[in-house]
Amino acid sequence: MPRADGPHAADDALARVRALRSRPGRDATGQHYVEGLRQVLAALDADLGVDLLLYCETLAPTIAQRRVRLARRAGVPVVRVTPEQFRRLSIATRASGVGAIVRQHWSAMREADPAAGLCWIAVGASRSPGNLGTLLRTAEAASVAGVVVLEPDTDPFDAAVVRASMGGIFGLRLVRAGHDQLAAWAARHGCGVIGASPRAALRYTEAAVRQPVIVLFGEERGGLTERELRLCTQVVGIPMAGRADSLNLGVAAGIVLFDLLRRRSST
Amino acid sequence: MPRADGPHAADDALARVRALRSRPGRDATGQHYVEGLRQVLAALDADLGVDLLLYCETLAPTIAQRRVRLARRAGVPVVRVTPEQFRRLSIATRASGVGAIVRQHWSAMREADPAAGLCWIAVGASRSPGNLGTLLRTAEAASVAGVVVLEPDTDPFDAAVVRASMGGIFGLRLVRAGHDQLAAWAARHGCGVIGASPRAALRYTEAAVRQPVIVLFGEERGGLTERELRLCTQVVGIPMAGRADSLNLGVAAGIVLFDLLRRRSST
């Protein structure tokens, strides 16, 4: 591990960040790269293991300075980079000047508490990192406890997912599990599995409201797969009142989860 | 107007489409360019005035062929272009091979029926065409009658808005009106104006449910402006249960509008 203040600190840090852009790089290190003030602050606040801060004084807003100084005092290595170096790494339209290498915060399925928060959610494949990120942002805002990621190809630590989650990912537990593992966990805890599908006849407002429950969202266009449907104790849909045949994944999740929150609050 | 089958038809059509990419080009012609099978079919189905179809046989799926043929028989000029020509115009990651020049379907404020559909919505400034498009898609799915666009800078016929609306824009009436005009219309019809704001104390579930009503969504980050707040008879918010301080605009609209639909259906 290079010293953060050594002569090659910036080059080393930039190479590490570049490696985290790819899935193999993230898998090999168990880390991910977060950029943007809001997300970096959320990562620091969540205390999930910030391994390194990347900081560009010219680009970063004043509010970032204080937090970076505090983090350094708490022992987080801080590497200063030039605006050019920062911009070359950035996926944002306007580079924020603050980035962080953060540990991926995975939990084990067996440690997941089915009674925590509003509920758990599970996701299968996702077509769009932006949609998955919005789903995470929405779930966190509804006080969902965590997310079970069923498909190995789905990576919630993709930078575009983390970015669209607006820091929400840091407020959620994340579990990677296969369908059988999830089924066993749900059975052990008497946990209902509500599948959300555009084609379901049962209205989401009639879904079981009692805890514990896990809400399963399928792929944006294809909906729930056969394997996912077999996990479900109930399948609910959002009746479309217009000509549309579906909603954006994050929107659908917001409607279902906030209705669950509304009904849970009123019981 | 060039003949669609003339020797320069493709060049002429491509130049017209290019002009529609910019706001001045759209304003000058009162048209917009729509691409993607789903959107083009929605435009044809809505019968709002398709002035020209752009068609690339190599790229377009088989289902498009029949519709293009039907449209030509109904008198819509069809111009064939090469894959290279089509791709050069496309904003999609995968060019669909079907595009259309469509008339912008604006209505006058005085013609807007306050009792139509679930409700009306109004939008102010928007930071992101994608968010505005998702808002339109969601509104149409909830059977919203139409959208009042308050800010002259907001253009619902921007290609990125139309695309994100997934055809939803063609199921909505669109009205451009100033704040005073909207206030006068609402007063004349005894129409309540519900502002949606992340900072409101009143829960969205407690908003007035009786018709006629118009729901006003502010800018994603700044929320409702002073002028917008003055229009409101009620301001409602979605209580955040997690650490998040806001939701995506389309998600927030989905939660508020589908809750209105749920309560309206149950009364």
Contact B243 A144 (CB under 8 A): no
Residue with tokens 């579930």: B205
What b-and-e string marks burial along A109-130, b requiring 16 or more CB atoms within 10 Å of the CB?
eeebebeebbbbbbbbbbebbb
Quick: pLDDT tens for A198-228: 878 899 999 888 889 999 998 877 889 999 9
Least confident among A6-15, A116-125, A187-196, A233-242 = A6-15
Q: Which residue has better confidence, A253 or A91?
A: A253
- The whole-angstrom separation of Cα B94 and Cα B28 is 29
pLDDT value, residue A236:
95
Q: Give yes or no for residue B264 having a pLDDT over 70.
A: yes
pLDDT value, residue A2:
41
Q: Which of A144, A51, A61 is nearest to A100 (CA)?
A: A51
Q: What is the DSSP letter of B199?
A: T
Residue A80 CB neighbours (<10 A):
17
- The whole-angstrom separation of Cα B194 and Cα B38 is 32
Let me know if A83 is exposed, middle or buried by CB neighbors in 10 A (0-12, 13-18, 19+).
middle
Per the prediction, chain B carries an average pLDDT of 92
Q: Give yes or no for residue A129 having a pLDDT over 70.
A: yes
- Segment B242-265 shows an average pLDDT of 92
Collapsed DSSP state (helix, strand, coil) of residue B203:
strand
Residues A146 and A119 sit within 8 Å (Cβ to Cβ):
no
Q: Does A141 touch chain B (CB under 8 A)?
A: yes
At A96, is the pLDDT very low, low, confident or very high (cuts 50, 70, 90)?
confident
What b-and-e string marks burial along B100-137, b requiring 16 or more CB atoms within 10 Å of the CB?
bbbebbeeeeeebebeebbbbbbbbbbebbbbbbbbbb
Rounded to two decimals, the pTM is 0.92
Minimum-distance CB partner of B171 among A130, A205, A242: A242
Quick: pLDDT tens for A27-76: 999 999 999 888 999 999 998 899 999 999 999 988 888 999 999 999 99
Q: What percent of chain B has pLDDT over 70?
A: 97
Mutation target to probe the B interface, by most B beta carbons within 10 A, among A37, A47, A247 is A247
At A133, is the pLDDT very low, low, confident or very high (cuts 50, 70, 90)?
very high
Q: How far apart are the first and last CA of chain B?
A: 53
At A5, is the pLDDT very low, low, confident or very high (cuts 50, 70, 90)?
low
Collapsed DSSP state (helix, strand, coil) of residue B219:
strand
Minimum-distance CB partner of A250 among B42, B141, B251: B251
Domains of chain A: 9-104 (3.30.1330.30), 107-265 (3.40.1280.10)
Q: Give yes or no for residue A126 having a pLDDT over 60.
A: yes
| Sequence-separated contacts (24+) of A178-181 with Cβ below 8 Å | A178/A150, A179/A150, A179/A227, A179/A228, A179/A230, A179/A231, A181/A109
In chain A, residues with a C-beta closer than 8 Å to the C-beta of B259 are 258-259, 262
- This model of the complex carries an ipTM of 0.90
Q: Is B199 left (phi over 0), alpha (psi -120 to 50) or beta?
A: alpha
Strands B202-203 and B106-107: unpaired
Q: Does B254 touch chain A (CB under 8 A)?
A: yes
Q: Does A263 touch chain B (CB under 8 A)?
A: no
Contact A166 B250 (CB under 8 A): no
- The whole-angstrom separation of Cα A26 and Cα A211 is 34
Contact A134 B251 (CB under 8 A): yes
Q: Which residue has better confidence, A2 or A162?
A: A162
Residue A26: phi and psi, rounded to 5, are -70, -40
Contact B241 A251 (CB under 8 A): no
Contact A251 B138 (CB under 8 A): yes
In chain B, residues with a C-beta closer than 8 Å to the C-beta of A42 are 243
Q: Does A110 touch chain B (CB under 8 A)?
A: no
In chain A, residues with a C-beta closer than 8 Å to the C-beta of B238 are 258
Least confident among B2-11, B42-51, B110-119 = B2-11
Quick: pLDDT tens for B172-227: 999 999 999 999 999 999 999 999 988 788 999 998 888 899 999 988 778 899 99
Residue by residue, what is the 3-state secondary structure of chain A?
CCCCCCCCHHHHHHHHHHHCCCHHHHHHHCEEEEECHHHHHHHHHHCCCEEEEEECCCCCCHHHHHHHHHHHHCCCCEEECCHHHHHHHCCCCCCCCEEEEEECCEECHHHCCCCCCCCEEEECCCCCHHHHHHHHHHHHHCCCCEEEECCCCCCCCCHHHHHHCCCHHHHCEEEECCHHHHHHHHHHCCCEEEEECCCCCEEHHHCCCCCCEEEEECECCCECCHHHHHHCCEEEECCCCCCCCCCCHHHHHHHHHHHHHHHHHCC
What is the sign, positive or negative, of the torsion defined by CA atoms of A87, A93, A98, A102?
negative
Quick: pLDDT tens for B133-173: 999 999 999 999 999 999 999 999 999 999 999 999 999 99
At B5, is the pLDDT very low, low, confident or very high (cuts 50, 70, 90)?
low
pLDDT value, residue A1:
43
Task: List alpha helices for B165-222, DSSP H.
Answer: 179-188
